[in-house]
Structure 1
């Protein structure tokens, strides 16, 4: 059973790292560093593809292919493959140990299916030339995978008992979780459409509270990168609509999750993650504003993406603990469903 727990925690940790590194891939324009899949110009590493990379670099000196970008892209793929093997490992163990584990292997199996789907979207990200809807779905699936792995890991950790009355707030945490994922999808849409700098002022946008925006073009799903549905270059008004929506929806997320975290900041079994949630909300607000004022510095943008992943992790932990309200402390050495 110890091997099973170790694999679960390693998978959760690696998923968090992959989400942050995936942001680094996007922000350094390395998504097409190797424009085929799963290899790099048909080779296992960029070393074997050196001649092809050099040829692409000479043809397009400022294009998406360079040795640096190729390595970034391939390292992300290697880490994804390792994650897949970890998940296969603990899924197999969950089935082998199903009579001794205090829960069924259903979630482990669902996670295996999700990582396969995530791998498919990783491939389509390349083959569809960074199509925004594909890349955004890839990000949301990654966050969903992190949430499931966090839930799986939370079952293996002990924590203080949560009072029964706190369970009344579970439905609000579910709502907060849904709102958070909507914001993650909006954030992914901003990133994949390169709309982070569509509004350079705050709290207004282009000097207005309601700037000129084109929501139809901005939120049209079936279109290529940098294009409108018509095939023309996407307009500034469409990019403004994408940015403005994500920016303002953030205040709903901060308000809802902030109120819940403030309410539970002294509650037994919840105060640790509740206080962490408050800190993360403040961090996301700070890094979001810094991204605007300092014109999207790479480090801050990666931290902003990492903060989003941390919000998923903490929110999932809170939701798990709320599901145990009024029950004995769960985790290692305790029986639970």
Structure 2
């Protein structure tokens, strides 16, 4: 009897993901011998955060090299766990269309992305389970955030599947990008909560209400700009404007906002099925560019305010990232979307999201008990380590 669904590729991908995750787990175990379980969780959260950042960058690389359909099924590659097992199918697809979406290099890029995503999911599962066990001994150990991260990474996996099965549907691909950055923010918050649970190494921080509100406003603005940037990338609208500061030689080029921001449609098409007009791509690009001016001004303003408040390092980070995003964004336009600049632009956005999420979490008034509840002035760093 023919099974309704073949689960073999799923199990094979899970095995590969577990093997990849075993390396970071062993490294954390060896590096943190003698440390408390919460301290080990904090190290593991930091490492998982780093790997998730790599995953976001590799996801951008996968999208920008048109490798998203390198394996046109999910989770395997033509039912196999790797392109090696799908050699015949990939060769046939590449022979039929040598520059098409399926080639050996694109298949490997797509599958490496899936392996890394599965490994990150495995590490998050370990943190959720260990946090639940440790909570019985240390009531300050966070449980909500690890399990929320686990649920979120599962949703990310579902969006990854939809990205393939819906053939790079722009709204799905953009949501997949936003979901990856949201996972970064969750893991950064989780690492902060582990620090708060570790009474020997954590001290809380305070910000003035006005500065904290400014950080929140900047956080929201960054998310909106990331969503607009994702919409530009997934609609391949970067080269709709090839000059700067004007667009197509004009300060207000012909634009079709209604069709450009029609969310539920296929790639390159309107909801009616007709081809998307160039004016729609121009509108997508130019809105992202105009709002970039707002976000850059906000980054500089909040960065300067942090420096004046005694948080010089935090302020320098924002000012440096503002410059980085401006440089990489301009490079995408004037150099006609080079791969390095495009990936670097996504990386800058990811760092911004993670930093702001961490600062907002570190300055929140969360009672965790013991020595970790101590507060200090805003002039001190947001966190520091000290020996017991």
Interval of TM-score (by shorter of Structure 1 and Structure 2):
over 0.9
State the shift of 1:9 in Å: 1.3
**Which residue in 1 is equivalent to 2:80?**
43
Shift of 1:3: 3.1
1:319 alignment partner in structure 2? 360
Counterpart of 1:283?
A: 324
1:129 lines up with 2:181 in the alignment: no
**CA, structure 1 residues 315+165, in 2 after alignment: closer, same or farther (shift >3 Å)?**
closer
Structure 1 Cα separation of the partners of residues 94 and 56 of structure 2: 28
User: 5+ unaligned residues in a row in structure 2: which ranges?
Assistant: 1-36, 196-200, 367-373, 377-381
Q: Using the alignment, how far apart are the partners of 2:297 and 2:285 within structure 1?
A: 19
Larger RCO (alpha carbons 8 Å, 6+ apart): 1
1:160 deviation in Å? 7.2
The aligned runs of 1:74-113 (5 Å cut-off) are: 74-99=111-136, 100-113=138-151
- Distance (Å, rounded) in 1 between the aligned partners of 2:225 and 2:62: 21
User: Compared with structure 1, are the counterparts of its residues 160 and 327 closer, same or farther at alpha carbon in structure 2 (3 Å cutoff)?
Assistant: closer
**C-alpha offsets along residues 253-282 of structure 1, whole Å, 9 cap, x if unaligned?**
1111221111112544x3323211110111
Partners of 1:175 and 1:165 in 2: how far apart?
Answer: 14
Q: How many residues align?
A: 332
- Relative to the length of structure 2, the TM-score reads 0.81
Which residue number in structure 2 is paired with residue 34 of structure 1?
71
- In structure 1, what is the equivalent of residue 100 of structure 2? 63
Conserved 8 A contact 1:265-1:271 = yes
Rounded to whole Å, the distance in 2 between the matches of 1:293 and 1:159 is 46
Once residues 383 and 317 of structure 2 are traced to their aligned partners in structure 1, the CA distance between those partners, rounded to angstroms, is: 20
State the Cα distance separating 1:65 from its structure 2 match.
0.8
Asked whether 1:120 is paired with 2:161, we answer: no
Q: Which of 20, 25, 28 is residue 62 of structure 2 equivalent to?
A: 25
Alignment gaps of 5+ in structure 1? none
**2-structure distance, mates of 1:132, 1:145:** 20
Match of 1:154 among 174, 189, 192: 192
Q: Which residue of 22, 42, 47 corresponds with 1:5?
A: 42
Q: Distance in 2 between matches of 1:113 and 1:169?
A: 32
CA distance in 2, matches of 1:276, 1:160: 21
CA gap of 1:259–1:160, structure 2 versus 1, over 3 A, is farther
In the TM superposition, residue 333 of structure 1 has moved relative to its aligned partner by: 8.1
Q: Are residue 178 (structure 1) and residue 201 (structure 2) matched?
A: no
CA contact (8 A) 1:184 1:308 kept: yes
Please show how residues 175-214 of structure 1 align to structure 2 within 5 Å: 175-214=217-256
Structure 1, 214-223 or 150-159: larger mean CA deviation: 150-159
Q: CA deviation at 1:231?
A: 1.0
CA contact (8 A) 2:207 2:363 kept: no
Q: Deviations over 1:17-50 (max 9, x none)?
A: 0010001001100000000000001100000111
Which of 1 and 2 has greater Rg? 2
